[in-house]
Structure formats: structure tokens, C-alpha cells
Structure 1
């Protein structure tokens, strides 16, 4: 019952995250459903759908198909479409109905690959998990399949960006600002996975000296690069001025000693004055900026999607449903809230906390995804002027 929402829409599901991770890479994406899930992704979870080109299809699953389990019908449709579209790969996505009937997506993908000669993936997305899980699984599958095998000598001052989708970073200037900030520090970006990149860059991504994990969905991919290619990673975003310099210093250190690092923060010890709600890495990075650049204490970074213990300190918080978010906002005693505009619906009438709107596409979808809030470098102070700077 905790998962029931009365005020908030459902957050973006796992198949939307997986589709978003693959959107720009020239593959054919097939969502196995009766049109509802495909429409949910293209209409509400993918801002690039209106301006870009991608091969996203619905399998048009019907009641009798579900009852009879006719996988050959799905395979035939995919093969016929592939003959016309010539995709670089084929990706099958699950939805709730195939989950209930136990569709073997891995087996179907293997059959399609053998008969077409085109690389194929079968993702066990269900629509019952959140977007960050689906994106993480898709990113990991990408690098396992397309990254060039075998270790190589890393190229100096090169970096991959791991975990980019519009569900966290919009389609506006955030990614360009991130590229610019790193390039100003002398870093050359090999692969920006998976916005503003392609499969060839992913193949050569193994030459990077270091990986920068910019969202939780990039962490599993970073672990794979470390295990298979011994490429270390840093987790965080260059938000603010002094906090950004701290992150850049971590990149230099990790490139030198090969150790993984995660952007750290102070300890609120339960006395929270400022609460930031959203994706874990983004919230942690904004928190560090408020601590280092603004001198604020008692800043809580609250992850509202899938919990990830590896990115959480002992006193970090999670609020993964409407009830938990509402309780936190109204009972924590905080005086500042940074979060999606829809969270204002959850504030009690007597809650006098100052609210800073930070739209999250995975929460409020198209309602606010054109209202991109800049956070990279000093840009954050254009919308958080009242926080002050030391």
C-alpha cells in the first residue's frame, strides 16, 4: 500500500530508462506490449522523441498472443522490420504482461540474432521497477557487447562520462556544460554514454584514463570497466566552484593512483535544514556545493529512486514513495527544499519551508522538462542566489 500515489504521478519505469539509454545509438528498440507502455515512453519519458530520430516500435501484443505465448509472431515481426530498417542492433523490452506470462526475452533475442546476423539484446524490464535500474542494465549490456575487447594503454587526460539520459540531464545545456567544464580542465572526452555519442566511441571507450560516473545508472558500467580494463572511476558532478575544483582534483588523483573515488560530504546527524530530493549522484553533488561553496550545514541528499548503498553515507536518506517523501518534507523540520515542483503538492498548509524548484523529468515528465535548471559549475548560483556564497 505504501506505493500508492494520490498526489504524484508514477515515476519513470525501467523500460523507459533502458529505451532512453539506447535511444541515440542507431538500434531498433521493440517494447513488447499492447501499445500502452510504448506510448508511455514516447509520450511522457522521452523528450528527444519530438525532435530526433529513433527506431522505437510496439509489438502490439494482443490477448490471444499472451494466452498462446506465440513467440514466433514477435520474432517474425522484428525480422521483417529489421530487413527494412537495417539497425545497428535490436533491443527487446519487457512490460508487465510479458512478465506475468514469463516471456523469455534472452532466448528470443538469441533467436533473432542467429536468424538476422544483427546483435540483439533481451531486457527483462517489467514496468514494476524504476528507470535507473533499466538504464543501468542497458548501459552495462552496451559496453559488454560493443566495447573493444582486450586491455590497451590509456590515453592521457581522457575521460568517459557514464550514465547520461534526459531523464536526469534534460536535452538542454547541461550535457554541453558538463563537456565544456571538463575540457576547460584539459580533459578529452572519449565517450559520453549515452548522449551525444555513438557505438564507435563506445568501442574506443576502453582507451580512457578514467571514468566519471554522473548518475547512479552509470555505476554498474563503471564497475565493469574497472574489472575488465582496470579503468578507475570517480562519482560526482562539477557543481559550484570550490566543490567542482574538488571533483577535478579527485579525477587527477584517481587517474594517477588508479583508485575509485566518490564525491563525499559532511554529516547532517539528523539536524537537516536543507533537503535535496532527486537522483542520488546529482543530489550528492548539489549538497557538496552547498557545503563547500555556501558554507551550509545540515544538508540532506535524499534519493527518491532505487536505493544504492554504495553511494550512500551512514546518515544519507532515501524516500522512495509518496508517503515517505511527504513525511520527510513535513516532519524533518527543514527550512529549505530543493525538488521537483510537483512535490509542493505534498507540503502541509503550515509548512513554511522555502521551496526551490528543480524539475526532474523522471517525476514530472513533460510538465517541466523544458525548464532546464543549470547546475554545472557556477551556473547553479543563477537559480540558488539566496543560498549565498562564501
Structure 2
């Protein structure tokens, strides 16, 4: 409770955790900060020590404050798990396997995750998707890390610094072509007239970068800089191309479309709510669960109807 946090009654929280741990089969305890503990600077290291002493369970703290977006919290949680559980190994130890970081249900639908699992599973190497605690414990033994969303970058770079594991921040081209074939086909139909139009991809950065590469390869006649990535979420400088955009809010997105009234926007249909009137461009639906809570693309004819209903509701 807020008053417990403000008055420093940490023992109450520890007692509740002890009772829960006695009833559940758990491997560790995670403390995720909310605005009040963040404002009063709760000493989470001390609370973690108290919990570990009372429960015998390893405990991590995710120092969120309730004022930022989902990817920062996911990034902090993944990094905290790596810090706590990755076991040291000799630097000359044999390395094997591929680790996939950032495969969260907020960034990928169930079907997209299954497609990526199947594609990577064809490779003759063990894969760790960091969905089990053992994957974090054995992370230092990995031969390579594949980061598929910005939420996994911080943890991957920690593993790279500490254990020299190389990183690839990308999605396999075969996955992009398979998972987003419908978007690419609709884009091909729009570009048939040969008219030069700006293309804006709005999603998490690594997926958007992969889709941009697929578009540039499929349509080599597009001029340099015709495809731009924009995101409301983390935009890592090392992965940015010149001209990529970080939208601080819907107003920035709205302003971009006012400046590019004929653009093709590849993004969640919910973005239609922020499209200026009049707008002569096209919105191709690319669902982002973190944005709208939708997992599958809708029929093109329903995009504007969906947006209008979302506004009225």
C-alpha cells in the first residue's frame, strides 16, 4: 500500500512475500517498483536482502517508476535477471548455442513467435529463448546472441561486455518475408503505378528495421531514404538510419503526415486515429500488441471503421 511504502513499513511487504512463497512453487522473487516507492527512493537493495533472508529465494528489483513505456520496464527486467542469475564461467570455456533476447508477447504475436521458433529451430544449434530461468543461468556459455526487440538490448550488451558474446540485433530475412508477406504484397500493389511515395514503418525498432530491409531488397528502384522507421518506443542510436524518427507522442506522428500527405504508413490500424484530415496516403495494418492490444491484422476495408469506433468508444 502507498502508506506502507511512505512510512517505510518494508516488513509488511516482506511478510506478504513470505506467505505467498509458502503457498506457491516459485524460483525467485521480483520486486517491480511503482511511482510512490520511486518518488521516496525506497532502498530496494535492502528490501531484496530482507526478502532473501526471510524466504531463502533469490530476489531481484526492477527499478521502474510507472511513468515510462513498456519496453523500458521489459529491458530493466531482462537486465536484472541477467545480473542476478548468469553464472560465471572460465573465459576459455567452450561456447555453444544461440540466445534470443527480446521475444516478448508485447512485441510479437503467438503466430510470429511460433514462426521464429520454427525458423531458428532448423539451424543445427541449441536455441535459448530466455523463457526459462536456466536460460539466464547458462547465458555466459552462449556462442552468439540474437536481439529481436530493443527490450533485449541492455541485457545483451551486458553479456557482451562481461563474456565477449557477439550480438546481432536483427530478425532473419526469411522470418520477415514469411510473417509479413501480406503487408509486402499490398505494398507491391500500391507501388505498381511507379509514383514516388514516402514509406513510414511504425513498430518496435528492430522489427521495423527488418521490414525496411525486406522492402528495399524487393523494390530496388526505390530512392535512397524513401523508407523511414518511426517509433513511439525505444530508438537505439546504433540501430538508427539517417532520418529515422522518434515520436514523443501522437502529435509528432500527426505532424509527420501533415508534411507527407501522400505517405504509405505501415503500422497498427489504431494509428488511423491520429491521421490528419484530409490525408491522401494509405495505412497498411501491422499490428503491435503493445499499442492496440490486437494480435492479427484486419481486412483493409475495416481499418478506418476500426479507428472511428475506437474514437467513439
TM-score range, shorter chain: 0.7 to 0.9
CA distance in structure 2 between the partners assigned to 1:316 and 1:98 by the alignment: 35
3-state secondary structure, aligned to 1:122:
strand
Displaced runs of 4+ in structure 1, greater than 6 A? 241-244
Q: Which runs of 5+ in 1 are unaligned?
A: 1-60, 245-270, 374-390
- CA deviation profile, 1:297-339 (whole Å, cap 9, x unmatched): 4000112113321221232221121111111123234431111
Counterparts of residues 269-280 of structure 1 (less than 5 Å): 273-280=198-205
- CA deviation profile, 1:112-133 (whole Å, cap 9, x unmatched): 1122211001221111111111
Classify 1:163/1:187 alpha carbon distance in 2 versus 1 (closer, same or farther; 3 Å): farther
Classify 1:372/1:104 alpha carbon distance in 2 versus 1 (closer, same or farther; 3 Å): farther
Q: What is aligned with 1:300? A: 228
CA distance in structure 1 between the partners assigned to 2:135 and 2:67 by the alignment: 32
3-state secondary structure, aligned to 2:129:
strand
Q: 1:207 aligns with which of 129, 141, 151?
A: 141
Superposition TM-score, scaled by structure 2 size: 0.81
Q: What is aligned with 1:192? A: 129
Matched, 1:107 2:35: no
Q: 2:67 aligns with which of 128, 153, 160?
A: 128
RMSD (Å) for aligned C-alpha atoms: 2.2
Counterparts of residues 236-251 of structure 1 (less than 5 Å): 236-239=170-173
CA distance in structure 2 between the partners assigned to 1:101 and 1:359 by the alignment: 38
Q: 1:322 aligns with which of 250, 256, 262?
A: 250
- CA deviation profile, 1:32-62 (whole Å, cap 9, x unmatched): xxxxxxxxxxxxxxxxxxxxxxxxxxxxx14
Q: 2:85 aligns with which of 126, 146, 163?
A: 146
Classify 1:307/1:335 alpha carbon distance in 2 versus 1 (closer, same or farther; 3 Å): closer
Q: Which runs of 5+ in 2 are unaligned?
A: 179-195, 299-313
Q: 1:173 aligns with which of 90, 111, 120?
A: 111
3-state secondary structure, aligned to 2:234:
coil
Classify 1:287/1:334 alpha carbon distance in 2 versus 1 (closer, same or farther; 3 Å): farther
Classify 1:335/1:183 alpha carbon distance in 2 versus 1 (closer, same or farther; 3 Å): same
Classify 1:314/1:209 alpha carbon distance in 2 versus 1 (closer, same or farther; 3 Å): same
Classify 1:335/1:153 alpha carbon distance in 2 versus 1 (closer, same or farther; 3 Å): same
- CA deviation profile, 1:78-111 (whole Å, cap 9, x unmatched): 1111122141000011112222232222221121
- CA deviation profile, 1:1-20 (whole Å, cap 9, x unmatched): xxxxxxxxxxxxxxxxxxxx
CA distance in structure 2 between the partners assigned to 1:333 and 1:294 by the alignment: 22
Contact 1:161 1:189 (C-alpha < 8 Å) held by counterparts: no
Shift of 1:284: 0.7
Shift of 1:242: 9.8
CA distance in structure 2 between the partners assigned to 1:165 and 1:304 by the alignment: 17
Matched, 1:340 2:281: no
Larger radius of gyration: 2
Classify 1:215/1:187 alpha carbon distance in 2 versus 1 (closer, same or farther; 3 Å): farther
Q: 1:288 aligns with which of 198, 205, 213?
A: 213
- CA deviation profile, 1:137-178 (whole Å, cap 9, x unmatched): 1111112222221132112xx3111111111012x1211211
Q: 2:98 aligns with which of 142, 148, 159?
A: 159
Classify 1:144/1:350 alpha carbon distance in 2 versus 1 (closer, same or farther; 3 Å): same
CA distance in structure 2 between the partners assigned to 1:320 and 1:189 by the alignment: 39
CA distance in structure 1 between the partners assigned to 2:23 and 2:108 by the alignment: 33
Kindly indicate whether structure 1 or structure 2 has the higher relative contact order, using CA contacts under 8 Å at least 6 residues apart: 1
Shift of 1:66: 4.3
Q: What is aligned with 2:159? A: 225
Classify 1:66/1:142 alpha carbon distance in 2 versus 1 (closer, same or farther; 3 Å): closer
Classify 1:116/1:242 alpha carbon distance in 2 versus 1 (closer, same or farther; 3 Å): closer
